[in-house]
Every structure is written in structure tokens, then in C-alpha cells.
Amino acid sequence: MTQLVLGGFVLIALGVGGLLVLRSIADRAPALAAEIAADQLARHAQEPVTHTTDVKEAERLAAEEAHKPSERGGSEPEEDEDRDEPQAALVEAPEDNTAEDSNSDNSLGESDSVKDILAEKARVREARRRVSITLYATSWCKYCAAARSYMKARDIFFDERDVEANEDYAEERDALNPSGGVPVVKIDDQVMKGWDPTLFEETLDKAAGARLAQL
């Protein structure tokens, strides 16, 4: 029993001593940190500063390079700066009117061709208009009606004479067609008996050609 009591006192004594040691270390920690920092600064102060020397060396090399002659012209950079440089200028390109002139010529040619065609058509219409056309017909004749409608639809000028309504017209018709049939179409000095649109146009064109020579 006595040994146990003594052992307990020993442990208590050790515990108290450890706490005192730790407290002592904690109290001296700031001082130790300051000493370590001061020691490191002293060491860095004793080491040679190499980066400053490297910068100066680079500046020296750059200065030597700047004073070297130019490889292209063999002149100093300062002399190149004094040399007059060619000035840029805007130059107008010569105008190319070839395509425009060609188009203009073509347009003029086409315009002249169109004018010629229109003028010729106008002369033909005028010549056809001057052809004298007389239709001898009756009111009941279907071929007479067909001839009448054909010419009216095409604005062909003609004079219609009803042979049943006028004896003089009947006599004129008989002189052109002694058989007395209708229709009879007189185109200038040409006489067409019956009605045929194709034959009518051919006869009219022939008469218009003769008239055209007189215009």
C-alpha cells in the first residue's frame, strides 16, 4: 500500500515538471523565432548579389549590339533613321472604256436595227392601207360574213357593197364575175372569187409591194 502511494506521488511530480518545461518553452518561442529570422538575414547579407550583376551584363551586351553596323546596308542605325524614305502616293488607274464603248456601239447598232425594222413595218402597213379593197357581198352569204369578219379583225380597210341592195353594185359584180356568185373581192386590179384567207393575204401582199415602191 505504501509503494502505491509513493508511485502516485512520483507520477504527480513528473506531471508537474512536464508542465513547467512546456510552459518555459512556450514563453521562449517568440524569442527563438526572432533569433532564427535574424540569423537568416545575416546569411543572405553575406551572399553575393548575382542578379544585379546579370542585369548590368545584359545592358552592356545590348549596348554593344546597338552600336554594331547593320548587316543589310553596312550603316549605323542612326544613319538609317536620317535617310529619306520614299513617300506613298495614290495614283489613279487609267480608265478602261473599252467595254463601255463596245456596249455603247452594240446598243447603238441594236437601236438602229430596231428603228429600221419598225420603220419598214410602218411603211408596209401604210402600203397595205393604200391598197383598194372592195367586197361584193350579200347579207345572207356566210362566206361574205367570214371575209367581212377577217378584215375587220385585222383592221384592213375595205369597202363593202351589197349587190342585192344596189343594182349598180350588182352590175359591177357581174362585170368581175359573170357567173354572179358572191363573195367577190377586188384588190386593186386583182379579182378573187370566193373566200380564201391565204389567197387573200398573198394577193394583198403583192398589191402592197407595188404600192410600197411608190412611197
Sign of CA dihedral 63, 67, 71, 72: positive
190-193, strands of its sheet edge to edge: 159-162, 133-137, 184-187, 190-193
In angstroms, how far is CA 78 from the centroid of its own chain?
Answer: 52
With vertex at residue 108, the alpha carbon angle to CA 102 and CA 109, rounded to the nearest 5 degrees, is: 90
- How many CB atoms are located within 10 Å of the residue 66 CB? 10
Return the higher-pLDDT residue of 26 and 199: 199
Q: With 90 as the cut, is the pLDDT of residue 89 above it? A: no
CA distances from 181 to 148, 162, 170, 193 (A): 16, 12, 10, 8
Distance (Å, whole) CA 7 – CA 13: 10
**What burial letters (b/e) apply to 106-136, b meaning 16+ CB within 10 Å?**
eeeeeeeeeeeeeeeeeebeebbebbebbbb
> In the chain, what are the domains?
133-209 (3.40.30.10)
pLDDT above 70 (res 206): yes
Q: At what angle do helices 142-153 and 197-212 cross, to 10 degrees?
A: 50
Q: Kindly report which listed range (24-28, 46-50, 120-124, 156-160) carries the lowest average pLDDT score.
A: 46-50
Q: 62 or 99, which is more confident?
A: 62
Spatial distance between the Cα atoms of 129 and 122, rounded to a whole number of angstroms: 10
Q: Which residue has the higher pLDDT, 85 or 128?
A: 128
Give pairs for 167-174: CB < 8 Å, separation 24+: 169/136, 172/136, 173/136
Instruction: Tell me what the pLDDT averaged over the chain comes to.
Output: 73
pLDDT, tens digit, for every residue of 7-66? 444 444 445 455 554 555 556 656 666 666 666 665 655 554 444 445 566 567 666 665
User: In sequence order, what DSSP letters do the residues of 118-169 get, joined into one string?
Assistant: HHHHHHHHHHHHHS-EEEEE-SS-HHHHHHHHHHHHTT---EEEETTT-HHH
Find cell 537568416 and name the residue.
40
